[in-house]
């Protein structure tokens, strides 16, 4: 009896072992890193576009991805989603807290009278509709150190100025989003650039490419980042000449003719409650300048302190080793504390202060929920190996002249699917380096530029991107409206980039490719302007 009992136990263990192995084999064979891994992101994005229900679509995408990953085992899928949710809260919870802090910051600025004072000053300086939009763009030159901060901060500050000229919140979010990551990637000492440089550094070491140093390769690759450069050129043309396409035309026309700056049909709009809050009538420019300066200065000091704590010496190493989100938390908390102290000193009603803080939290909760679900969705999709599958397609099907454009397209699709610039760059740059190391090292710079261009295009077009959501929060517009109004401009820049990368592939001249890309985007912009004038009566820039 003991023998048979022991035999049964051993047989059961063997069966369970084989079951687990078979399950893992099936998972790897039929799901991870295969064409099936594309199903969740495609369905999620299709649902978002078709239904306009962001939360529902993200939820369905999460459940579908988890079910596919866990071979349709409901219990394992639910457990998997819970675990990923906890990981997101632990790993990315700080950005969620920072979003809430910015919501409180915005509401307190309104209560202090600083927003009204800035609005009065801004209208005096920016005397036309076009100038108010250009001012929002130029402010991006001072928030280059972090693209997420740039999206939230500029929207919060500039909204009061552009609102005076009835600029739609869709247009403001486009202006801000198009000059956040693009500007950050043109400056080597931004947080985003520091991460990219660290990726390049590791890749050069692993592939034994000695022709370049990491920083040198990044700097030389800046002119090859066609999408970033053409996007910045295009957004200035759009702001100055008032070029509106598709849904942007409708949103801008509604704003100028009816004074309706955003659409509420897709759900609650972050920041929409601010106009109902109490505000001090004697606010001054100091009520906004001091808190804003505190936010920026404390963030920079915290970033440098954290970065140098790792034993770093150069600016690049400091940015590479720092924790920008933690630094932003320090800056946001300190700035809010400063406003509270000034409000108490000015004998502002405690009831008004508490009501304002609660309102600030409430207005960000829908966006925080969307951001949380987007981060969970990105994790689920990433676990299915979307990036690895698309990368494998590149390695098996390519001609050297088409390398730059192929890497641009695949980087864009991966970034669009997972909503992450860094995640995509981390996948694609190593693959590109491995290929050019074996074929032609002279293509390395073009490949780095193409990957970075593709990642930003994908992020600008993706509803899963954190900066898409953050730009929406800052500008007080629903993410669906922001995504749909920005997409036509992003597509124009991407088309010009594709043509430019084809030129690079056949001529090996990055400068020639850049000039062609710029020519295409400028001609395309004025073609749209001319077509706009013939088809509809749309708002003028001034």
CA 72 from centre of chain: 32
- Indicate the burial class of 495 (C-beta count within 10 angstroms; 0-12, 13-18, 19 or more): middle
Per-residue burial over 47-58, b = 16 or more CB atoms within 10 Å of its CB, e = otherwise: bbeeebebeebb
C-beta of residue 470 within 8 angstroms of C-beta of residue 152: yes
Q: List, for residues 78-99, the tens digit of each pLDDT value.
A: 898 899 888 888 877 887 888 7
Euclidean distance between CA atoms 86 and 223, whole angstroms: 40
Spatial distance between the Cα atoms of 140 and 68, rounded to a whole number of angstroms: 41
Q: Could you please report the per-residue DSSP string of 169-183?
A: HHHHHHHHHTTTHHH
How many CA atoms lie less than 13 Å away from 304 in the CB half-sphere? 10
Residue 345 sits at φ, ψ, to 5 deg, of -60, -40
Distances in Å between the Cα of 28 and the Cα atoms of 17, 34, 42, 129 are 17, 8, 20, 55
d(CA 373, CA 88): 9
pLDDT band per the 50, 70, 90 thresholds, residue 26: very low
d(CA 7, CA 457): 60
Distance separating alpha carbons of residues 481 and 269, to the nearest angstrom: 11
Question: What CA–CA distances, in Å, run from 113 to 118, 141, 333, 477?
Answer: 9, 26, 19, 23
Residue pLDDT, tens place only, 27-81: 444 455 677 877 887 887 778 767 767 678 888 888 988 888 888 888 888 898 8
Indicate the pTM of the whole model: 0.72
Backbone φ, ψ for residue 313 (5° rounding): -120, -50
Please write the tens of the pLDDT for every residue from 501-511.
999 999 999 99
């Amino acid at each position: 009896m003991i023998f048979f009992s022991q035999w049964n136990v051993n047989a059961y263990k063997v069966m369970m072992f084989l079951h687990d192995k078979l399950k893992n084999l099936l998972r790897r064979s039929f799901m991870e890193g295969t064409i099936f891994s594309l199903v969740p992101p495609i369905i999620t994005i299709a649902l978002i576009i078709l239904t306009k229900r962001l939360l529902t679509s993200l939820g369905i995408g999460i459940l579908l991805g988890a079910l596919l990953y866990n071979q349709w085992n409901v219990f394992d899928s639910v457990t998997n989603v819970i675990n990923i949710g906890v990981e997101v809260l632990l790993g990315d919870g700080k950005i969620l807290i920072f979003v809430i802090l910015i919501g409180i910051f915005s509401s307190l600025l309104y209560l202090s009278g600083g927003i009204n004072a800035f609005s009065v000053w801004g209208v005096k300086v920016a005397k036309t509709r076009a100038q108010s939009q250009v001012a929002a763009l130029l402010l991006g030159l001072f928030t280059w150190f972090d693209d997420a901060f740039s999206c939230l901060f500029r929207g919060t500050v500039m909204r009061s100025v552009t609102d005076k000229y009835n600029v739609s919140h869709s247009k403001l979010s486009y202006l801000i989003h198009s000059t956040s990551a693009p500007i950050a990637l043109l400056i080597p000492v931004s947080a985003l650039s520091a991460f990219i440089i660290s990726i390049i550094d590791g890749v050069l070491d692993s592939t034994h490419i000695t022709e370049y140093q990491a920083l040198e390769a990044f700097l030389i690759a800046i002119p090859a980042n066609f999408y970033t450069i053409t996007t910045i050129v295009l957004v200035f043309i759009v702001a100055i000449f008032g070029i509106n396409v598709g849904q942007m035309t409708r949103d801008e026309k509604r704003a100028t003719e009816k004074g309706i700056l955003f659409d509420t049909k897709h759900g609650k709009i972050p920041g929409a409650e601010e106009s109902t809050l109490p505000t001090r009538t004697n606010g001054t420019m100091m009520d906004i300048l001091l808190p804003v300066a505190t936010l920026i200065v404390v963030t920079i000091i915290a970033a440098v302190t954290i970065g140098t704590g790792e034993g770093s010496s150069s600016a690049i190493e400091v940015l590479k080793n720092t924790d920008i989100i933690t630094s932003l938390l320090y800056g946001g908390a300190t700035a809010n504390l400063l406003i509270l102290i000034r409000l108490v000193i000015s004998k502002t009603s405690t009831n008004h202060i508490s009501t304002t803080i609660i309102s600030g939290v409430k207005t960000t909760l829908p966006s925080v929920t969307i951001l949380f679900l987007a981060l969970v969705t990105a994790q689920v999709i990433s676990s299915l190996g979307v990036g690895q599958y698309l990368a494998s397609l590149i390695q098996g099907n390519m001609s050297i002249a088409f390398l730059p454009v192929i890497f641009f397209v695949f980087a864009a699709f991966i970034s669009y699917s997972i909503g992450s610039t860094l995640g995509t760059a981390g996948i694609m740059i190593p693959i590109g380096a491995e290929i050019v190391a074996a074929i032609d090292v002279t293509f390395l710079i073009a490949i780095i530029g193409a990957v970075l261009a593709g990642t930003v295009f994908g992020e600008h077009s993706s509803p899963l991107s954190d900066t898409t959501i953050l730009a929406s929060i800052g500008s007080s517009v629903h993410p669906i409206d922001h995504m749909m109004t920005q997409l036509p401009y992003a597509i124009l820049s991407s088309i010009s980039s594709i043509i430019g990368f084809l030129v690079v592939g056949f001529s090996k001249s990055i400068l020639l490719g850049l000039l062609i890309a710029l020519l295409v985007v400028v001609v395309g912009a004025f073609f749209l302007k001319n077509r706009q004038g013939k088809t509809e009566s749309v708002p003028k820039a001034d």
